[in-house]
Structures are given as structure tokens and as C-alpha cells.
């Protein structure tokens, strides 16, 4: 989670919503690290999870990431959950819950929906949740202050 938090801090410094993600291989090595890049690219799919999964797939030369773990600072949204399922990641670890758009147990639970035709990943929630949530709180508080100026 420390590597994902570093990516999130980098996103905040670049004016992006501070979300960071890493994909960890089956033996514990970091295959890919990414931060949100929706504004800087501009790309509506520039979520940290999508970018990290794309890179990990290229590194491994395979679209299937079985045995790999995605570590992300914020609960994945529906788009990212769909990508996680398509990539067949074995595990998802996230920090802060997203009570507005989360799709890993808060608003929706796409990752554990057994009706879908993909293997269901293990989901570990709330890892370093306070640190992850604090980055988001600080970012949006600064945005509100800037908007009022």
C-alpha cells in the first residue's frame, strides 16, 4: 500500500484526484505502478487501476493476470471493477471506501458477484484506510478553498 500511496500523492501534486495503484506479481514483485491521469492525459479511463493493469499486462505479455494482486488507495468504481474481472486478478486490496461510486462492497459489489462469468477475486478492504482517505480529504478541501478564492 505504501507504493500505491506514493502514487496517490504524486497524482495530487499533479492536480489529479489522489488515487494510486500497483499490481503485484505472484512472487511479490511490483509489476506496475500508476496514478490517476484523467486530467493530464485527458482520458476518461485514466483511472490508476486501469493504467496499472494495462502496464502489468504489457510487462507479463498477457491480458490474464491470474495470481496477481491489485493494490489501490480507493475502492474501485464499476469501470475499474469490470477491468479487474476481465484481467482475472486474483486479489484486490484497497484502502478507503468510496461511498458514492464504489463497486467492491460499498455501493455495488461487482467484484464478488457470482453471476458474472469471471473468477471472483479475493477482496481485502480498509488497508491503510485512514491514510488513503486523508489524502482525498486534503485534496478536496484545497479544491474547495481554491474555488472560494
Q: For residue range 98-116, what is the model confidence (pLDDT) as tens digits?
A: 999 999 999 999 999 988 8
Note the pLDDT tens digit of each residue in 49-87: 999 999 999 999 999 999 999 999 999 999 999 999 999
122 is catalytic: no
Residue 3 to residue 69: CA distance in whole angstroms: 13
Give residue 110's pLDDT.
Answer: 95
Confidence at 145, pLDDT banded by 50, 70, 90: confident
Residue ranges of the binding site for Zn(2+): 47, 77, 80
pLDDT exceeds cutoff 90 at 146: no
- What is the layout of strands, in order, in the sheet containing 91-96? 30-35, 20-24, 69-74, 91-96, 122-124
Catalytic: which of 16, 49, 66, 122? Answer: 49
Angle, in degrees to the nearest 10, between helices 2-13 and 48-60 = 120
Give the model confidence (pLDDT) of 8-34 as tens digits: 999 999 999 999 999 999 999 999 999
Cα–Cα dist 8/117, whole Å: 31
Amino acid at each position: 500500500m505504501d507504493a500505491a500511496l506514493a502514487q496517490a500523492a504524486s497524482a495530487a501534486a499533479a492536480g489529479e484526484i489522489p488515487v494510486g495503484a500497483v499490481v503485484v506479481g505472484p512472487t511479490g514483485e511490483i509489476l506496475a505502478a500508476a496514478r490517476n491521469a484523467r486530467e493530464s492525459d485527458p482520458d476518461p479511463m485514466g483511472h490508476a487501476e486501469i493504467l496499472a493493469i494495462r502496464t502489468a499486462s504489457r510487462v507479463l505479455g498477457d491480458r490474464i493476470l491470474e495470481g496477481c494482486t491489485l493494490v489501490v488507495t480507493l475502492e474501485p468504481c464499476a469501470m475499474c471493477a469490470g477491468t479487474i474481472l476481465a484481467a482475472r486478478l486474483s486479489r484486490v486490496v484497497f484502502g478507503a471506501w468510496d461511498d458514492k461510486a464504489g463497486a467492491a462492497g460499498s455501493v455495488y459489489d461487482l467484484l464478488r458477484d457470482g453471476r458474472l462469468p469471471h473468477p471472483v477475486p479475493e477482496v481485502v478492504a480498509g488497508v491503510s484506510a485512514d491514510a488513503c482517505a486523508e489524502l482525498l480529504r486534503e485534496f478536496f478541501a484545497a479544491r474547495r478553498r481554491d474555488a472560494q478564492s
